[in-house]
Structure 1
Amino acid sequence: MCPGSFDPVTNGHLDIVGRSSRLFDEVIVGVLINQSKQGLFTVDERIELLREVTADYPNVRVESFRGLLVDFCRAQEASVVVKGLRAVSDFDYELQMAQMNIGLAGVETLFMPTNPLYSFVSSSLVKEVAKWGGDVSAHLPESVLRRLVDRMESTRS
């Protein structure tokens, strides 16, 4: 299970999904539905983009979920959560989540260090730079970049 909001999916996300797909028979990309947060892309749009950019991985499927990740893992019969770590600050937060998940449901967490090329990339940072017209093309798959640029242009009008 590779969970996240993926708003939008970045090359860093894809690196973790792709590497996970080589380790496991099946990888589920779980798109969190968080009704208290308004995303730039709808959940359906994020799922569509993820399915498009993970199409080359036959053992990856994309699903959405709400509520506790461990409940979704149980329902999907997923026993491992894979989380990419960009920095020590990620580890501090993710370790607490991993310990809670093992305690709640016996779901293990595998921490995967992010490729240094993507160590500073986050969806939030990409959106912020794109909002002000910065070039984020190195950080997004081409199809995601097109959709992001279109979305930013439509919000400026």
Structure 2
Amino acid sequence: MTKIALFPGSFDPLTNGHLNMIERSTKMFDKVIVGVFVNTNKTALFTLEEKLVLIKAAVAHLENVEVIIQETKLTVEGAAELGATFLIRGIRNVKDYEYEKDIARMNHHLAPDLETVFLLADEAYAHISSSLLKEVLRFGGDVSMYLPDSINQALNQKNREMKLNEE
């Protein structure tokens, strides 16, 4: 039986922490699907299509990874359609654990055969989030060490465009 895992997220942008989780997941599962989902609680900087292109480039070195867009379904519905029986979720701290635990329990209620696998963030990335990186960059800080090169370039370009629009 092929073990397929879905790693859902808004990935706005995908960070090296996300990439580390994806790389580690490829060693545990036959296929890892990175699902670019819409987070209704956040305003996205990148469009879904932009994220798709950027993430595909960042994971191109991983043979068993696929990247998809999912904008109108529950995660459990998307997982079922994709044949995924595992969800991958990253945990950076206790706050993440509390949040993710509740989601995992709801997902288990909705899809009892879908297992959530928690991966602890690598120490080098445990303190970062996409939101934090965008905030630091907005005020001129260097976040390049936390992003794949192509995503860092795209994020810097978006930041320049936003600043021009504010003027």
What TM-score bracket applies, with the shorter chain setting the length?
over 0.9
Q: 2:107, 2:41 → 1: CA distance?
A: 22
- The residue type equivalent to 1:100 in the other structure is M
Kindly indicate whether residue 149 of structure 2 is the aligned counterpart of residue 105 of structure 1: no
Structure 1 residue aligned with 2:50, among 38, 41, 45? 45
Q: How many residues align?
A: 157
Corresponding residue number in structure 2 for 1:134: 141
Q: Report the TM-score when normalising by structure 2.
A: 0.91
Q: Secondary structure at the match of 1:117?
A: coil
C-alpha distance in structure 2 between counterparts of 1:35 and 1:89, whole Å: 20
Between Structure 1 and Structure 2, which shows a larger proportion of helix residues? 1
Q: 1:36 to 1:90 in 2, by over 3 A?
A: closer
List alignment gaps of at least 5 residues for structure 1: none
What aligned pairs does 1:3-152 form with structure 2 within 5 A after superposition?
Answer: 3-34=8-39, 37-66=42-71, 67-106=73-112, 107-152=114-159
Question: Structure 2: which amino acid aligns with 1:133?
Answer: G
Q: Tell me the equivalent position of 2:3.
A: none
Using structure 1 for the length normalisation, give the TM-score: 0.97
Shift of 1:64: 1.1
> By how many angstroms is 1:97 displaced?
0.8
- Helix, strand or coil for the counterpart of 2:26? helix
Q: Name the CA distance, whole Å, in 2 between partners of 1:142 and 1:82.
A: 24
Q: Which runs of 5+ in 2 are unaligned?
A: 1-5
The 3-state SS of whatever aligns with 1:23 is: coil
Partner SS state of residue 52, structure 2:
helix
SS at match of 1:74: helix
